[in-house]
Chains A and B, each alone.
Chain A
């Protein structure tokens, strides 16, 4: 990141903290939502047994789901705050691509997913790809 990419009055560390805040809250939201859906089970099976209302009820009665959505809402406002201080071309791709990597780490640590070499490679390729796409 060069000094030219930052608006006047915003230091590198301030920008990094804003982008990190978006990534951390977004990752917390994604992981909690994924944990909620894993705990609920296959929605297709639930819908086949209890209909669409049963599937909606299963999601809306899961506390983890609301915790996840709350963090996703905080991540949204953190992104708005970052966009208020940083350039769109920096904040949006940097936070989106960093979130992909933090999600892979969090999925391995908290969801116990088997993030093997294939998935690490994919996360890094998509991360760089998202950043390039914004330029």
Chain B
């Protein structure tokens, strides 16, 4: 099945892929920083950490990320979805700059620009392609069929 143009719901899934992973990581980092240092001699403390609010929220967000990521991979190419996950780094840097008023170095601004350009490049192309040698339907394959028809 080909999806030359994504539906609004599919763009929402991609947006959740980009948002949930960095937000989940941030919640985990916030939760772990509030805990005292955990020693391997007391592994049960780590288990208890799972039930603290920030870490529980982080785990829930990462589960949501994985569900959205798998859904996206079921109708889009890996090389289409992966740049979206990298766009999460950009969102975190922008949140840090404009919400937490952190300093963003010129290197980071350059990184933000390059990732945004990369995601823009991929987003303008088809979401699903397959090798025509395998005889499967694809965005380009469908165009060929339409032309033949």
Most B CB within 10 A of own CB, among A40, A44, A104, A116: A44
**Contact among A33, A113, A121, A131 for B77, CB-based, below 8 A:** A113
**Nearest CB in chain B to that of A105: its residue:** B79
Q: A116 and B78 in contact (CB under 8 A), knowing A44-B9, A122-B119, A133-B111?
A: no
How many chain A residues touch B (CB < 8 A): the figure is 41
- What 1/0 flags go to A30-45 for Cβ under 8 Å of B? 1101100110111111
Whether A126 pairs with B118 at a CB distance below 8 angstroms is yes
**Contact among B70, B105, B113, B119 for A37, CB-based, below 8 A:** B70
Complexed CA–CA distance, A44 and B131 (Å): 23
- What 1/0 flags go to B121-149 for Cβ under 8 Å of A? 11011000111011000101000000000
Whether B79 pairs with A115 at a CB distance below 8 angstroms is yes
Q: Hey, which chain A residues are within 8 Å of B52, CB to CB?
A: none
**Nearest CB in chain B to that of A96: its residue:** B86
How many chain B residues touch A (CB < 8 A): the figure is 43
Q: Hey, which chain A residues are within 8 Å of B90, CB to CB?
A: 133
**A98 on the B face (CB < 8 A):** no
**A94 on the B face (CB < 8 A):** no
Whether A125 pairs with B118 at a CB distance below 8 angstroms is yes
Q: Hey, which chain B residues are within 8 Å of A33, CB to CB?
A: 70, 73
Whether B114 pairs with A128 at a CB distance below 8 angstroms is yes
**Nearest CB in chain B to that of A119: its residue:** B79
Q: Chain A: residues with CB nearer than 8 A to chain B?
A: 30-31, 33-34, 37-38, 40-45, 59, 96, 100, 103-104, 107-108, 111-116, 118-119, 121-126, 128-135
18 A-B interface contacts by CB (under 8 A):
A34-B77, A37-B70, A42-B1, A42-B74, A44-B9, A111-B78, A112-B134, A113-B77, A113-B131, A119-B122, A122-B119, A125-B121, A129-B86, A129-B118, A130-B89, A130-B115, A132-B114, A135-B108
